[in-house]
């Protein structure tokens, strides 16, 4: 007996805190509040499948620049006259890939594996070797339809992160009422450190390995950080090449170029969706975006399109932070001119830094710029409790996935800063991905106004339901019906969004039952 008592007093081990457990805190809170069916909860608590696999590729020869100090040993090295300069591909990190026969026929002066290019710099010639990359695909849940979610190419990815992002997709597809589940994956790689052809080979090999796990009715990837329509085109080709039903396989990936079966409006869809939510947030207060100001983190797909659309609606961009630094202009940054700067082929890092229409500031000052809206559109975990204490905005609209930590969420609530949570704010991308998938299935092509009209309707309808759940305002209007989702008490918007997702997913399980 004494032994049993001792045994019972042993405290349960605290589960290790990870990105996934942190992301799931809100799931558990919402599940408790609505009394989510126990078995459905178990189905959703962990992903259906977690794939880790490896991709190998043969790299090309590279020229690696020496530091001025190292170059001193080669001060008398004559410059090589390059015959085929188009074969030299300069990377963001200063290294140069030798494509094809870049140096063929050139008058090469080489000493101890080093050569000088006409730009005056000395480079070490590093022969290309084979390299192995770690790749992932997490398939979180498919109760409502095929797994759906982006492919990320980034140095800092992990199974833990992809689990969190895949679960987010399950919630997001339910919120936006598209018949998909959730998945996510990618490769641990810094894409800016590899040449075009290398990335092509890595992507083709990645799809070669992924092929047995996915399909247009099984799991449908899309672009995410570090990938784009070009990568999707390669994935589509590799998946369908040589197949009899090749054209019936277009829906294997979304986010494709419109010329090969992509949807009008897809490239801008995530930014457009965030803008529709922000517009609706102000419309409810009887206001619009004219004269409103915003700060933006991330000037990639989501950030640049979001900023351009908000600017067209009358808002002013005051500061932008990206992976390389921060720029600020109190009179407003011209988004069109900034896009031209970032897309300039000479801007190898595609960074906002060096933009003539703004001054450089420190990242810590970025978070303290006074504005109406903060639009995070980069990576997760950027708005920490400390940042949340310092923000001088009235609204955070999450373009990125998981940009706000749970502690920061509590700080923002305490400070009365409003929140449009990621699983509704950035759902525009997956919503138009669904439109792309339907168009592929039906061999149709919808116009951009048609796509945007459908998107606006979907975003605003679901955002209004979430607002009603949050305020416990059960009602039916011309545009939406929140009566099946309100829970009899007020909750914060993130929890409200999760309640909407869980109630929709639970309905599938309860109506369909479980296969045994």
- 404 close to 398: Cβ distance less than 8 angstroms: yes
Least separation in angstroms between residue 397's CB and ligand NAD is 12
- Is residue 209 within 8 Å of 57, Cβ to Cβ? no
For ligand NAD, which is the closer residue by CB, 43 or 160? 160
Minimal distance, residue 135 CB to ligand NAD, in Å: 17
Q: Which is nearer to ligand NAD, 102 or 327 (CB)?
A: 327
The answer for residues whose C-beta is within 8 angstroms of residue 316's C-beta and 6 or more apart is 291, 292, 293, 294, 332
The secondary structure of residue 81, as a DSSP letter, is B
Per the structure block, which two tokens stand in for 499? 């309640």
- Indicate the residue among 224 and 280 with the shorter CB distance to ligand NAD: 224
Helices (H), 371-491: 385-390, 406-414, 422-425, 428-442, 448-471
What is the distance between the alpha carbons of residues 138 and 167, in angstroms, rounded to a whole number? 9
Give the tokens for residue 239. Answer: 């998946």
Q: Would you state the structure tokens that stand for residue 126, as one six-digit string?
A: 């590093």
| Least distance from ligand NAD to the Cβ atom of residue 270, Å | 4
The residue among 207 and 320 lying less far from ligand NAD, judged by its C-beta, is 320
CB of 164 to ligand NAD, least distance (A): 11
Nearer to ligand NAD, 41 or 349 (CB): 349
Q: Cβ distance 172 to 274 under 8 Å?
A: no
Minimum Å gap between C-beta 268 and ligand NAD is 9
Please give the Cα distance from 313 to 187 (Å, whole number): 37
Q: Known catalytic residue: 184?
A: yes
Q: How far is CA 141 from CA 49, 103, 171, 217, 218, in A?
A: 9, 51, 10, 14, 11
**CB closer to ligand NAD, 36 vs 302:** 302
Q: Which positions touch ligand NAD (CB under 6 A)? A: 223-226, 270, 297-303, 321-323, 377-379, 399-401, 426, 429
Dump the DSSP string for 59-113. Answer: PPPEEEEPPHHHHGGGTTPPBPB-S-GGGEEE-TTS-EEE-TTTTTT-B---BTT
Q: Which lies closer to ligand NAD via its Cβ, residue 139 or residue 426?
A: 426
Spatial strand order in the sheet of 49-58: 49-58, 130-141, 182-188, 147-154, 219-223
Q: What are phi and psi of 348, to 5 degrees?
A: -65, -30
Q: How far apart are CA 437 and CA 37, in angstroms?
A: 31
Closer by beta carbon to ligand NAD, 191 or else 216: 191
Nearest alpha carbon to residue 122 among 67, 82, 85, 81: 67
State the residue for tokens 């929890």: 495
- 235 close to 221: Cβ distance less than 8 angstroms: yes
Q: Is 68 helix (H, G, I), strand (E, B) or coil?
A: helix
Rg of the Cα trace of the chain? Answer: 25
Residue in the shown chain whose Cβ atom is closest to ligand NAD: 300
CB of 248 to ligand NAD, least distance (A): 25
CB of 39 to ligand NAD, least distance (A): 30
C-alpha 167/C-alpha 30 separation (Å) is: 14
Q: Which residue, 123 or 171, has its beta carbon nearer to ligand NAD?
A: 171
In terms of DSSP bridges, do strands 96-98 and 88-90 run parallel, antiparallel, or are they unpaired? antiparallel
CA distance 350 to 336: 14
The residue annotated as part of the active site, out of 60, 172, 184, 460, is 184
Minimal distance in Å, beta carbon 409 to ligand NAD? Answer: 17
- What are the catalytic residues? 184
């Amino acid at each position: 007996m004494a032994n049993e008592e001792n045994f019972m007093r042993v405290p349960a081990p605290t589960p290790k805190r990870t990105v996934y457990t942190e992301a799931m805190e809100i799931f558990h809170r919402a599940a408790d509040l609505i009394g989510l069916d126990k078995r459905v909860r178990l189905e959703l608590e962990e992903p259906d499948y977690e794939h880790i696999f490896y991709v190998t590729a043969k790299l090309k020869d590279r020229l690696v620049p020496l530091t001025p100090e190292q170059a001193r040993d080669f001060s008398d090295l004559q410059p090589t006259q390059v015959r085929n300069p188009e074969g030299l591909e300069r990377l963001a990190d200063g290294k140069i890939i030798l494509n094809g026969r870049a140096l063929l026929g050139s008058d090469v002066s080489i000493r101890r594996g080093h050569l000088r290019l006409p730009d005056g710099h000395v480079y070490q010639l590093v022969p290309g070797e084979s390299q192995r990359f770690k790749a992932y695909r997490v398939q979180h849940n498919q109760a409502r339809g095929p797994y759906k979610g982006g492919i990320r190419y980034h140095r800092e990815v992990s199974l833990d992160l992809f689990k969190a992002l895949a679960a987010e997709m399950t919630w997001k597809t339910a919120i936006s009422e598209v018949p998909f589940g959730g998945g996510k994956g990618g490769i641990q790689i810094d894409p800016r450190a590899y040449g075009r052809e290398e990335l092509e080979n890595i992507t083709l090999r990645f799809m070669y390995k992924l092929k047995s796990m996915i399909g247009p009715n099984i799991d449908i990837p899309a672009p995410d950080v570090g990938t784009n329509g070009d990568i999707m085109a390669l994935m589509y080709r590799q998946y369908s090449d040589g197949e009899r039903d090749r054209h019936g396989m277009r829906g294997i990936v979304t986010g494709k170029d419109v010329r090969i079966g992509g949807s009008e409006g897809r490239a801008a869809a995530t930014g457009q969706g965030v803008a529709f939510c922000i517009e609706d947030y102000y419309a409810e207060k009887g206001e619009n975006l004219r004269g409103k100001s915003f700060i933006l983190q991330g000037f990639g797909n989501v950030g640049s399109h979001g900023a351009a659309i908000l600017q067209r609606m009358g808002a002013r961009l005051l500061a932008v932070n990206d992976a390389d630094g921060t720029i600020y202009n109190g009179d407003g940054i011209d988004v069109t001119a900034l896009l031209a700067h970032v897309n300039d082929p000479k801007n190898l890092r595609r960074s906002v830094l060096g933009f003539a229409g703004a001054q450089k500031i420190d990242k810590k000052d970025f978070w303290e710029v006074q504005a109406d809206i903060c639009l995070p559109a980069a990576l997760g975990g950027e708005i920490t409790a400390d940042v949340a204490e310092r923000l001088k905005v009235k609204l955070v609209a999450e373009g990125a996935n998981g940009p706000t930590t749970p502690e920061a969420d509590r700080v923002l609530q305490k400070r009365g800063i409003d929140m449009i949570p990621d699983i509704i704010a950035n759902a525009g991308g997956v919503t138009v991905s669904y439109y792309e998938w339907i168009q592929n299935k039906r061999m149709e092509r919808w116009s951009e106004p048609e796509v945007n009209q459908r998107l606006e309707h979907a975003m605003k309808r679901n955002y209004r339901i979430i607002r009603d759940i949050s305020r416990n305002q059960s009602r039916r209007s011309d545009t939406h019906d929140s009566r099946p989702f309100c829970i009899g008490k007020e909750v914060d918007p993130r929890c409200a969004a999760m309640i909407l997702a869980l109630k929709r997913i639970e309905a599938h399980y309860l109506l369909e039952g479980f296969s045994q």
